[in-house]
Amino acid sequence: MKPITRHTRAPKTGAFIRCPYCQGVSRVTHFCWSALGCEHCREIVAKDRWAYCDRSEVSPVDILKAGAPITLRDGDEWCMWIPDRDRVISMYGTGGSRSTMRNRVEGRIQVTPEVALRQVLTHLDYGWKLDARGRKDAE
């Protein structure tokens, strides 16, 4: 975790920040604020007290709860959840484990956020991992 400074910028998909009081994770799309209320403990926290979290430091369940898309992988198979207002688009398929392979979508359904959370927890119980593509430490 890194402290938030005046030079900190959020990517297009949003940045994850951690509350210093309750350690709850929230997602922000910009840093044009001086203080922010934590949505977990309701404490007003100054910008320089929040900590910037890398996506790999946040649990997949917290990522989905914050409204960000998530992809889990198990070898050549993948599953992706994309939040969209009051529903979540769930897609699954094969391929794409190497840069030379293309992803093939095998199915796409719309589910409620509660069902999507159960699906993510079930995949994690079976040993699926957060997709590492796009990270500097990815293989």
**Which tens digit of pLDDT belongs to each residue from 57-68?**
888 888 888 888
Residue 62, helix vs strand vs coil = helix
Q: Which structural domain, as residue segments, surrounds residue 15?
A: 2-58
Structure tokens at 107: 């199915």
**Which tens digit of pLDDT belongs to each residue from 26-57?**
999 999 999 999 988 999 999 999 999 888 88
Residue 137 domain-assigned (yes or no) = no
Residue 7, helix vs strand vs coil = coil
Residue 138 domain-assigned (yes or no) = no
Are the CB atoms for 6 and 46 separated by under 8 Å?
A: no
Q: Say whether both 99 and 82 belong to one domain.
A: yes
Are the CB atoms for 43 and 6 separated by under 8 Å?
A: no
Sign of the torsion angle spanned by Cα atoms 22, 28, 31, 35: negative
Domain stops at, among 58, 79, 95: 58
Q: Say whether both 66 and 116 belong to one domain.
A: yes
Residue 136 domain-assigned (yes or no) = no
pTM for the complete prediction? Answer: 0.70
